[in-house]
Structure formats: C-alpha cells, structure tokens
Amino acid sequence: MDVPNLRKELKAIGTHEALMERLTRLDPAGLSAMEVSIAARRLRHFDGPPTLKIAYLGNRTFEPLPDYLEVYGACHAVACSSYIGPYDQHFQEVLAEGSGLRAFAPDVILLALSLRDLAPALADNFTALSDADRQAESDRVVASVKDWIGAAKASGSASLLIANFVAPPRPQAGLADLADAAGEAAFYAQLNGALAALCRAETRTHLVDVDAIAGAYGKTRALNQRLYYLARREWDEGFMPALAETLLGYLLALSGRTKKCLVLDLDNTLWGGVIGEDGPENIKIAKGDPVGEAYRAVHHAALALKRRGIILAVNSKNNREDALEAFAKQSDMPLKPGDFATLEINWDHKHENLARIAKTLNIGTDSLAFADDNPVECALVRETMPEVAVIELSGDPADFADLILSRPYFQKLEITGEDRQKSQQYLENRKRDEARDSVGDLAGYLATLGTEIHVRRPSTKDAARIHQLFTKTNQFNVTTKRYGPGEVAEFIESDDFDTIVVEVSDRFGDLGTVGLVLIDRRGDWPRIDSFIMSCRAMGREIESAIMNEIKRDYLLSGRHEALFASFSPTKKNLPVTTFFERQGFAIAEESDSGDKSYRLAASEAALLDCDHIALIKED
C-alpha cells in the first residue's frame, strides 16, 4: 500500500478499536518509515486504552523507536503507550517520587545506555588504557546498571529490559585487536556477558542483545555517526525495524500474546515437490541435495520451536495415506509423524482444518500460526481467520527456516519444564481421549485415570510458569487478570496473598503445573482473586478437588467464617461461568456487565465427591 492511500484510509477510521483491527491486517515488515509515522500519529490521536505502557530511559535520543514499537505492537493486537524520559535522567526518574515515570506507571522499562557517554575513555581511547583501567571501567559500568536495576525494582513492578552495548565495528587496534586477549572484541564480550549474568540473577529483568541485532543488521549501518553528533541519536532509523521486532517479542511474551501452535503445510513447505505429482520417493528432502537441505532446515526450525514448548500440527490438502507414506519412505526426515500433536490431512479448506486443530488441542484459533507456501491459501486464511498468524513461505526455500524462527510471537522469556514437555503432554492427552472413548462412561473413565494432585506454595523458581498461567490461560480463568512478572514476584513473597500452584499426574504421564489459585488476604475476609487451570486438565473434576482443599484450609478448619470470590466474564471463559455456583458459593453482588462477587459461609461449605482423585498437600 502506498503512503497517500494508507494515510487516507487510516484517517477515515473513526475509532481506536477499528484502527487496531485494521492494523492487525498489516504486515509490519512491509511498512515504510513514513507509513509507520502515519500509523503512529493516528494511534496517538485516539489515545485508546493501552495493553502495555512502555518507558524509555537512558543517555540517548530514542525517537523514532517508540513509533515503530507502537505500530508493530498494534499489528499484533497489542496497544502500546510510550513515555520517553529526559535525557540522561534514568536514575532520577526511578528515584524521584514526582517524576514523569512514576506518574506514567509503566509496565515495561527499556534502559538503553550509550557507552560513548557513559564511559567516553573506552570509546575514544581504548588502546591507551591499561588492562587494569579497562577492567575498572567495566566494573563501574556494570555496578551502575546494577544500582539502577535495584532502584527501578524498588520504585514499581515494571519488567525491566536492559540493552547491552554494541561492540565497535572497527576496533581501534585494527586486525591486531584479535591478538590481544584484552582487546576491544574480548572486552565487549566480557562486558556484555557480565550484563547478561546480572539480568539472569535479577527477577523481572531481561537482557536485550542489541549487539547481536546490530551485528545481524550491519553495525556500520545501524550506528549513525552524524545523528549521534547532532542529537545523540546513535541508532539509525533503518535499524529501527530490526530493533522494534526484537522488542516486540518481549512485549508479546510479557502480555501473553505468543502463539501456542505452529501449523505446517506439507508440499513445498516441509519438502520440495508435490506428493500427488512427484510421488513419495521423489520429493526433495534428502541430505546433499541443495533444495532438500533447505527444507530440512525448516524441519530443524520446527523442532527448535517444539523444544520451546510450541505445539506442532499439520494442515495439508493431500491424501492422508500418501502423506504418511512420504514420512515412512523418507525415513531420515528430521520431523516424524509423532512430532505433531494432530494431523489434518484431507481435501477440506485450510481454514476449516485450522478450526478443527484448535478444537482438538482445546486452544483458541488466535493461538495458531500457519505456515504455507501457497499465497492463495494464505490469503484465504487471512481473510477468514484474521486472528491466525500467517507465515507465507514465498521466495527461496533457503530462507523459509529463518522466516519461521524470526517471528516475534514465538518468543519466550524463559523456557520452563512444562514447555519442554508440552508436546509429550498433548500426545498423552490423545491417549486419555482414546481411553475415554473406549470406556464410554465418564465416571468409569475418571476412575481409571489414577489422577494425583499436588498442591503447594510456590518458590521463585515457579515465577515463570505462574506468569504463563496468568497471561496465556483463557478458558478456565475466572477473572482473566493478566499480572506481570513484578506482580507475580510480589504474590510469591508477600504475606498479603496466598498463592497455590497445582501439579497433576496420572497413569498416562505428568501434566506438570496446570493450576493456580491466588487468594487476596488484605481485606476483612479472604477473596479468591484468580482461579486458573490449563485447558489440558479440564473435564476431570480437578477443579473441585482443589476447591475442596481450599474449603478445608480456609473454612472447615475454623480459620475464617467466610470466603469470597470474584468472576468476570470474557468471550473465552464460558466454561467457568457458573463455576462458583457449582462449588456452593452464593452470589453476593452482580453488575450489569456480568461481573459477580460470591460468598461462601463456613457453615455452608460442603465438599464435592472427588474420590477418584488423590490430593497431596505439600508443606
């Protein structure tokens, strides 16, 4: 779309909701600098409610990075608002009670410091410094960042993103730098490594590897010397898309907007050629064949995502028998049928198959990303299911793997044990479904599972998984409150909240940490703020067993005379619309919007029958 047409179209849109909906249909990678500027101005014109508030602090000029991140976020249904702190006032902003940062109350703070101003001796006279002087400067820089992180964490609950330092593209010692164990290349690697270690040691603090992003883009292009001298704007505007796309990955992960499942086509996506025309023996997937090796790279990219906890599925127009024969005859293919949680191989429309895949996996269609080489199929999915992320594999197959791996909606801040076991857990769920169908009677089926529940208080090691449950669970989620990492840390550490995590296993395997209950004890009576359970644990009365334990602990023990709870309806949490009523709670108050407040008196608390479940409470 050319600039005048985009400007005219966006100007005609009359609401923030309509503007966001239109932007979600745009590919941010295809937007020019002018189009980004136009879209950013329109977003700010409406000043709609933000999904995330982002603050930019440091000793540099940040414009136009906020424009890019706001527009890129909107293209992925994340509404961002921005605050740019005064130049070189990053400490003052987090320390001063009346600062603009405190008033803004950000969800995320990006700290990006220029070493040229923070430690000019390193930038200007590196080769003139002794090894001891270089180390002293490095220690001073890391200590300063550490002090800032401490102050920022004390001032609020924002997640912190710390940009590392871009190593100079041309070391002062030239080629001889690599012969020096304390040269610039080694120095920046050590400095950035120290920053990475610092971020790993701090909760809700994450390193942004700007050095790697600039290296991939081209450091001499990323660093604009003229703009630095004019306005301390060190990053060139051409570098903004690459930087914004990486930062977007952090925002999507923090807001729970990452995709859960990658759905792959087969012909000319997982192998070169068409099974129906070339035959299973002649498709291109072999080692040593340049085309085949490009497609093998797609397999390895998909397997890498699987190890992150992304579910894999197949959506292909083919004869199922022929497709499975291809996997059998090309036995050295990296991907096997068992790597996919479900395979929809038929002649139905792709969007119909996507709906079936989501239903089979018990996830929303907005949790799907679909990769296909056919532009017609891609366009049809975009039109019929705009909530599905479409990865159009056009051009050279050698680029396909990178097209998949570079998508920001596959990023995770941390890979948990549940992520590593996710595909195995879905395969085990398939076995559970088969067992249910063979038994027929629900009560008989549940009795055969041998379900065991462990409930316990969390430690800081559980923080990443708890954040995932808050941000990614939709169906069994009574309030759908999206708490950030800072708030999760507070819940774990504070005496004002009781946090309960739930782990489940049965005869088919370990489902992992699938449940979470947050009880707010700040008022006169305890209140269930959040009751969350993963979709893969639904339909087994696990929620009743958990609630039985809560009744025992809070009411039947004599600790409290009553327990309160909250419910807020959404488009996706219909399974819990009457959850509290089924557990014996009475409605205390109900709003026109459907929000409900519940009360359960100790004298009315009754345990539901869950004899087929063994519950173990851990101290």
- The burial of 609, by beta-carbon neighbours within 10 Å (0-12 exposed, 13-18 middle, 19 or more buried), is given as exposed
The pLDDT score that the predictor gives to residue 353 is 97
d(CA 210, CA 196): 12
Q: State which CATH number among 3.40.630.30, 3.40.30.10, 1.10.3720.10, 3.40.50.10190 fits the domain covering 418-617.
A: 3.40.630.30
Tell me the pLDDT tens digit for each residue of 567-600: 999 988 989 999 999 999 999 999 999 999 999 9
pLDDT reading at 561 higher than 60 = yes
- Count CA atoms within 13 Å of residue 560 on its CB side: 19
Q: What is the rounded CA–CA span in Å between residue 260 and residue 263?
A: 10
Beta strands, E only, 112-247: 159-163, 205-208
pLDDT-derived band at 3, boundaries 50, 70, 90: low
Residue 515 predicted with pLDDT over 90? yes
Cβ atoms of 575 and 582 closer than 8 Å: no
Look at residue 26 and tell me whether its pLDDT is greater than 90. no
Mean pLDDT, rounded, for 324-353: 94
Residues 17 and 64: their CA atoms lie apart, in Å, by 24
Q: Which CATH number fits domain 48-254: 3.20.20.70, 3.40.630.10, 3.40.50.1110, 3.40.30.10?
A: 3.40.50.1110
CA distance linking residue 611 with residue 161, whole number of Å: 47
Percent of the chain with pLDDT over 90: 73
Write the pLDDT tens digit of every residue in 242-254.
999 999 999 999 9
Q: What is the DSSP string of 98-121?
A: T-HHHHH--SEEEE---HHHHSHH
Write the pLDDT tens digit of every residue in 402-451. 999 999 999 998 887 777 777 777 777 777 776 766 766 677 778 888 89
Mean pLDDT, rounded, of the chain: 92
Name the pLDDT band for 453 (thresholds 50, 70, 90): very high
Q: Where in the chain is the domain with CATH 3.40.630.30?
A: 418-617
Residues 210 and 164 sit within 8 Å (Cβ to Cβ): yes
Instruction: Give this prediction's pTM.
Output: 0.82
Whose CA is closest to 239, among 68, 113, 371, 444?
68
Average pLDDT estimate for 250-264: 93
Taking residues 320-340, report their average pLDDT.
93
pLDDT at 201 over 80: yes
Q: Which two tokens stand for residue 251?
A: 């925002």
Residues of the chain with CATH 3.40.50.1110: 48-254
Cis peptide before 64 (omega within 30 of 0): yes
* Four-way CATH pick for 261-410: 3.90.1150.10, 2.120.10.30, 3.40.50.1000, 3.30.1340.30: 3.40.50.1000
CA gyration radius, the chain: 27
Centre a 10 Å sphere on the Cβ of residue 341 and count the other Cβ atoms it contains: 22
Residues 299-313 have pLDDT tens digits of 999 999 999 999 999
pLDDT level of residue 159 (50, 70, 90 thresholds) = very high
pLDDT at 1 over 60: no
Which among 174, 237, 286, 223 has a CA at the least distance from the CA of 31?
A: 237
In the chain, list all ranges with CATH 3.40.50.1000: 261-410
Residue 311 and residue 261 in contact, taking contact as beta carbons nearer than 8 Å: yes
Residues 6+ apart with CB under 8 A from 470: 256, 481, 482, 483, 488, 516, 530, 532
Cα angle: 12, vertex 17, 20; to 5 degrees: 80
